[in-house]
Amino acid sequence: MDDSLYFSEQHHQVREMVRDFAAQEVAPVARELDRSSTFLWDNVKKMGELGLLGVPWSEELGGAGMDQLSYYITLHELAKVDASHALTVSAHTNLGTSPIVEFGTEEQRRRYVPLLASGQVLGGFGLTEPGAGSDAGGTATTAVDKGDHYVLNGSKIFITHAGVGEIFSVTARTEPGKGSRGITSFIVTKDTTDLDEARRLGIGHCADLPKTPGVRAGKKEEKMGWRASDTRELIFEDAIVPKENVLGELGLGFVNFLKTLDAGRIGIAAVSLGIAEGAYEEALRYAGARKQFGKPIGSFQGVNFQLADMALEIQAGTHLLYHAAWLKQNGRPFKKEAAMAKLYCSELAMRVTTKAVQVFGGYGYTTEYPVERMMRDAKVCEIGEGTSEIQRIVIARHILGDIAG
Ligand SMILES: Cc1cc2nc3c(=O)[nH]c(=O)nc-3n(C[C@H](O)[C@H](O)[C@H](O)COP(=O)(O)OP(=O)(O)OC[C@H]3O[C@@H](n4cnc5c(N)ncnc54)[C@H](O)[C@@H]3O)c2cc1C
């Protein structure tokens, strides 16, 4: 692809920096972290030092002072080597930090964003509930007004960083019977579940940050992929949330979270494309090195047509991704394009990684090569931040309006 369409010199520099980091610090540990399902704490510290946990936020707020494109480039490059690293950055930056940057008061921004943007603590976003997944407007968690505070009861499931993180934006119902307009967002805090790791590394915990009584993490999910990323339930038991922690306007919590998800979909497109490219590059190398019938397997049409299809789809996905990213960066409407990029890139990641395993034959099915991990990591890209079916609904509504409901 002609990168100059979308990238400036600074974007190329960011890409090189993240590529170097991924090759030197991520590649050597990705397989073991996946095998043991261990959170990537050491690299959280290193990514924080490099500014990768606050790429698009201003230096005033403790961020790296770069732009949205730099952020998507970061996810894309990390995911080529390991999706869990990319997802950690994505969940922390877009889901965990952007709602406070975009909908928070000056006081909320000043209090929480520097801690998050510097990587001092990790953040997350709680929308999904046991009975409210694709239909997130069906939020059942309640927030009852008690004068100077709200009392929250309920739980959020599959929350990235629910264990390791300390700062969360969550939704709860403030007005029963008002549908999605009766949902409000709140900022809640808790201690990380990994205090020992946090003490060892000097990041991951802020003792001075007042914690929300009644908020805790549930048990860790055992997952097919994204295994070095932390996914748990986030539980509210008579959680006392001061009114100063209401995030955005009362009743607009759901509407605002949908905006956060639109941007998040470009991020998942970047993660997906990175996984696909990583698997393609592995398959390309292997097809040149592996010999059968006295020739490199890449010389057989049955194999090289697979590689040609992968290259074609990756090129198409790259344009969809960076077009959506460019629209967002330049303040243009991007909802449809974000859904298209997410849908196409996540499904292409599944197709490309499956083909890559096939190119590797039996070795592809073992953990000796990373393609089996990439295939497992690709699957959830079709589910998280809106399933493929939900992306099709978003696109259909854009092109058909009311006819598509
Ligand atoms: C690893 C991981 C990390 C996650 N991280 C977070 C997080 O940080 N924060 C958060 O809030 N959530 C998170 N999620 C939750 C994720 O966003 C939801 O799993 C997803 O939105 C789907 O919801 P569900 O699992 O309840 O599936 P359901 O909504 O029950 O869907 C089940 C199936 O029905 C289909 N379906 C549902 N409705 C329709 C329809 N109208 N038309 C056609 N098909 C339909 C779906 O596409 C899907 O195939 C995470 C999930 C995973 C697996």
Q: Indicate the pLDDT class of residue 1, thresholds 50, 70 and 90.
A: low
Question: Using an 8 Å Cβ cutoff, are 184 and 246 in contact?
Answer: yes
Predicted pLDDT at 402:
77
Are both 157 and 59 inside the same structural domain?
Answer: no
Ligand 1 centroid to Cα of residue 386, in Å, is 6
Are both 23 and 37 inside the same structural domain?
Answer: yes
Q: Indicate the pLDDT class of residue 403, thresholds 50, 70 and 90.
A: confident
Predicted pLDDT at 5:
78
Residues with CB under 6 A from ligand 1: 91, 95, 124-128, 133-134, 158-160, 223, 226, 231, 380, 383-387, 389-390
- Atom number, ligand 1, closest to the C-alpha of residue 156: 11
Three-state helix/strand/coil letters over the chain: CCHHHCCCHHHHHHHHHHHHHHHHHHHHHHHHHHHHCCCCHHHHHHHHHCCCCCCCCCHHHCCCCCCHHHHHHHHHHHHHHCHHHHHHHHHHHHHHHHHHHHHCCHHHHHHHHHHHHCCCCCEEEECCECCECCCHHHCCCEEEECCCEEEEEEEEEEEECCCCCCEEEEEEECCCCCHHHHEEEEEEECCCCCHHHHHHHCCCCCCCCCCCCCEEEEEECCCCCCCCCCEEEEEEEEEEEEHHHEECCCCEHHHHHHHHHHHHHHHHHHHHHHHHHHHHHHHHHHHHHCEECCEEHHHCHHHHHHHHHHHHHHHHHHHHHHHHHHHHHCCCCCHHHHHHHHHHHHHHHHHHHHHHHHHHHHHHHCCCCCHHHHHHHHHHHHCCCCCHHHHHHHHHHHHHHHHHC
Are both 340 and 217 inside the same structural domain?
Answer: no
Ligand 1 centroid to Cα of residue 289, in Å, is 40
Does pLDDT of 349 surpass 70? yes
Are both 48 and 78 inside the same structural domain?
Answer: yes
The closest alpha carbon to 317, from 282, 291, 279, belongs to: 279
Residues that are catalytic: 385
User: For residue 368, what are its two tokens?
Assistant: 């000796």
Per the confidence metrics, is the pTM higher than 0.95? yes
- Atom number, ligand 1, closest to the C-alpha of residue 390: 47
Region 5-13 average pLDDT: 92
Are both 84 and 134 inside the same structural domain?
Answer: no
Region 140-169 average pLDDT: 98
Q: Which residues of 47-85 are buried (b: 16+ CB within 10 A; e: fewer)?
A: bbebbbbbbbbeeebbbbbbbbbbbbbbbbbbbbbbbbb
Question: Using an 8 Å Cβ cutoff, are 145 and 182 in contact?
Answer: no
pLDDT in tens, 181-196: 999 999 999 999 999 9
Domain with 369, as residue range(s), is: 256-404
Say which CATH number the domain at 173 has: 2.40.110.10
Region 378-404 average pLDDT: 95
Does pLDDT of 2 surpass 60? no
Question: Using an 8 Å Cβ cutoff, are 39 and 230 in contact?
Answer: yes
Ligand 1 centroid to Cα of residue 385, in Å, is 7
Are both 105 and 129 inside the same structural domain?
Answer: no
Q: Indicate the pLDDT class of residue 6, thresholds 50, 70 and 90.
A: confident
Using the 3D structure, point to which of 82, 117, 152 is the last residue of a domain.
117
Q: Is the dihedral of CA 191, 194, 196, 201 positive or negative?
A: negative
pLDDT in tens, 68-113: 999 999 999 999 999 999 999 999 999 999 999 999 999 999 999 9
Say which CATH number the domain at 97 has: 1.10.540.10
Region 29-38 average pLDDT: 98
Ligand 1 centroid to Cα of residue 156, in Å, is 12
Region 281-301 average pLDDT: 98
> What are the two backbone dihedrals, phi and then psi, of residue 345, each rounded to the nearest 5 degrees?
-70, -35
Are both 279 and 375 inside the same structural domain?
Answer: yes
Region 135-151 average pLDDT: 96
Are both 283 and 217 inside the same structural domain?
Answer: no
Region 346-371 average pLDDT: 98
Q: Indicate the pLDDT class of residue 36, thresholds 50, 70 and 90.
A: very high
Are both 376 and 276 inside the same structural domain?
Answer: yes
Using the 3D structure, point to which of 202, 230, 251 is the last residue of a domain.
251
Proportion of the chain above pLDDT 90, given as a percent: 97
Say how many C-beta atoms besides its own lie within 10 A of residue 122's C-beta: 32
Region 160-164 average pLDDT: 98
Pocket test for ligand 1, best of 87, 92, 128, 155 (most atoms within 8 A of CB): 128
- Atom number, ligand 1, closest to the C-alpha of residue 128: 11
Say which CATH number the domain at 384 has: 1.20.140.10
Measured between alpha carbons, how far is 109 from 129 in angstroms, rounded to an integer?
27
Predicted pLDDT at 38:
98
Are both 265 and 398 inside the same structural domain?
Answer: yes
Q: Which residue owns the Cα nearest ligand 1 atom 30?
A: 133
Q: Which residue owns the Cα nearest ligand 1 atom 44?
A: 389
Termini Cα distance of the chain: 37
User: For residue 119, what are its two tokens?
Assistant: 């990587």
Using the 3D structure, point to which of 251, 269, 303 is the last residue of a domain.
251
Beta-bridge mates of residue 395:
none
Specify the pairing of strand 167-173 against strand 123-126.
parallel
Are both 286 and 237 inside the same structural domain?
Answer: no
- Atom number, ligand 1, closest to the C-alpha of residue 380: 53
Predicted pLDDT at 246:
98
The number of domains in the chain is 3
Average model confidence (pLDDT) across the chain: 97
Residues 6+ apart with CB under 8 A from 318: 1, 273
Does pLDDT of 197 surpass 70? yes
Measured between alpha carbons, how far is 129 from 153 in angstroms, rounded to an integer?
12
Predicted pLDDT at 242:
98
Ligand 1 centroid to Cα of residue 130, in Å, is 10
Ligand 1 centroid to Cα of residue 125, in Å, is 14
Pocket test for ligand 1, best of 261, 387, 391 (most atoms within 8 A of CB): 387
Beta-bridge mates of residue 234:
156, 217
Are both 86 and 159 inside the same structural domain?
Answer: no
Residues 6+ apart with CB under 8 A from 9: none
Q: Indicate the pLDDT class of residue 390, thresholds 50, 70 and 90.
A: very high
- Atom number, ligand 1, closest to the C-alpha of residue 387: 47
Predicted pLDDT at 4:
65
